[in-house]
């Protein structure tokens, strides 16, 4: 097999079902480029994530995506020029260039694009977000960008939620940010319901919020996209909520990452059709 024109990767755990390789291969095909996009699972490779990450540039990788549970850990390994990404404190895209490793976050921009595509300029309303890890931090700052007036945070690690709350208050003093211990309690009166935990993904089945707690909400987003129809979203749809699937975040973060990796053009409608076919 010939050497790829563009060599990319994805560092993460539990990513066997990731569709990112297919997305980037299709992006390359649109531009006549052979893209190889490797799943880099530390457990399978038999090396730590940071050892793998440190060796990518020398192996010819143009860049790599980073997913759960390494998005926050990789921040210390990259140069971040964008103050917003520094505030988010999580990186999902790294680029190797001229001896430097640059860090970006396309989960943030991807969530904003996914929300806007589904709900246009509709306000987010009071929003509950469960899970304040790497993707949760990006989504929370996305809510700020969308003008959220009130955000409620829940995490099994309350200290982590409190840290994010403090960062959000600094970034947006006019936004009310509250940490709750109970997701069901925090859901009372909420318009938006967000799952940014791994609960619901392949191998971690379940839902972080009982269906009965969804009554009265307007919309729901699940960062999980394998499977697309999670129990969380299925329950939300049954309650009549407006649904934003994790597939949309997957799509837009990938599109934005492709732009950073290559600066090559992309027909998004064609890519969407090819991915869904």
Catalytic residues: 71
Question: Quick one: which of 133, 190, 184 has its CA closest to 163?
Answer: 133
Between β-strands 192-195 and 127-130, what pairing exists: parallel, antiparallel or unpaired? parallel
Alpha helices in 37-182 (DSSP H): 42-45, 49-55, 83-88, 106-119, 134-145, 158-171
DSSP-derived letter for residue 77 is G
- The tokens describing 232, both together, are 């969380």
CA distances 2 to 9, 56, 57, 258, 261, Å, are: 18, 19, 19, 22, 21
Strand 192-195 and strand 93-97: the pairing is unpaired
Total residue length of the chain: 277
Task: Classify 64 as helix, strand or coil.
Answer: strand
């Amino acid at each position: 097999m010939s050497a790829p024109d563009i060599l990319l990767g994805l560092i993460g755990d539990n990513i066997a079902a990731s569709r990112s390789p297919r997305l980037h291969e299709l992006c390359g095909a649109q531009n006549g480029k052979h893209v190889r996009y490797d799943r880099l699972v530390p457990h399978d490779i038999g090396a730590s994530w940071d050892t793998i990450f440190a060796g990518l540039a020398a192996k010819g990788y143009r860049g790599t995506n980073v997913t759960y549970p390494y998005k926050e850990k990789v921040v210390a390994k990259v140069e971040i020029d964008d103050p917003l990404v520094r505030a988010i404190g999580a990186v999902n895209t790294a680029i190797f260039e001229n001896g430097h490793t640059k860090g970006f976050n396309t989960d943030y921009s991807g969530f904003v694009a996914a929300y806007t595509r589904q709900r246009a300029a509709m306000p987010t309303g009071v929003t509950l977000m469960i899970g304040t890890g790497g993707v949760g931090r990006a989504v929370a700052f996305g809510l700020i960008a969308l003008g959220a007036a009130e955000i409620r945070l829940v995490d099994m690690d309350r200290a982590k939620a409190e840290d994010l709350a403090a960062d959000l208050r600094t970034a947006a003093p006019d936004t009310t940010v509250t940490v709750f211990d109970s997701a069901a309690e925090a859901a009372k009166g909420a318009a938006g319901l967000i799952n940014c935990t791994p609960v619901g993904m392949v191998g971690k089945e379940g839902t972080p919020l009982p269906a009965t707690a969804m009554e009265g909400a307007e919309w729901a987003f699940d960062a999980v996209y394998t499977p697309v129809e999670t129990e969380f979203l299925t329950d939300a749809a049954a309650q009549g909520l407006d649904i934003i699937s994790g597939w949309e975040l997957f799509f837009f973060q990938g599109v934005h990452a492709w732009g950073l990796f290559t600066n090559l053009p992309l027909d998004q409608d064609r890519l969407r059709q090819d991915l869904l076919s």
